[in-house]
Amino acid sequence: MQRIVVHDTLRETRYLHDSVYVRDSVYMEGATQIKERWRYRWRTRVDTVYKTRRDTVVRYRDVYKTTLAHEVEHPPWYHRPLTVLGALTLLLLVVYVLSLVRRIIP
């Protein structure tokens, strides 16, 4: 028996436009210049709602098992000599480092 989950998603988007008028003006008396600036800004607000509904469907399927004889994989012939060679090299390296340390520190 296998359960399948089916998603049904509804996306609803609402847009709201807000208009803002910004007036920036400078008035001076005398020989100065009068400056006026108008700016128009759009402000968009977005509201997104995700609604999800789940439904579980049961689907049956047959399972076929086959039994095979368990095969043992042996490592190749060169793994054991390489392991011994690596251990001896590591041991010689430790002895060499210890002899150097003893020479430096009497």
pLDDT in tens, 50-61: 666 666 677 777
- 9 backbone dihedrals φ, ψ, rounded to 5°: -115, 135
pLDDT at 89: 97
- Strand ranges, E, within 27-97: 35-59
Q: Express each pLDDT in 2-36 by its tens digit.
A: 555 555 555 555 555 555 555 666 666 676 667 66
Q: Express each pLDDT in 63-73 by its tens digit.
A: 777 766 677 77
pLDDT at 71: 72
Residues 44 and 72: their CA atoms lie apart, in Å, by: 68
Residues 48 and 13: their CA atoms lie apart, in Å, by: 5
Residue 97 has pLDDT above 90, yes or no: yes
80 three-class SS: helix
pTM over 0.75? The answer is no
Q: Are 3 and 57 in contact (CB under 8 A)?
A: yes
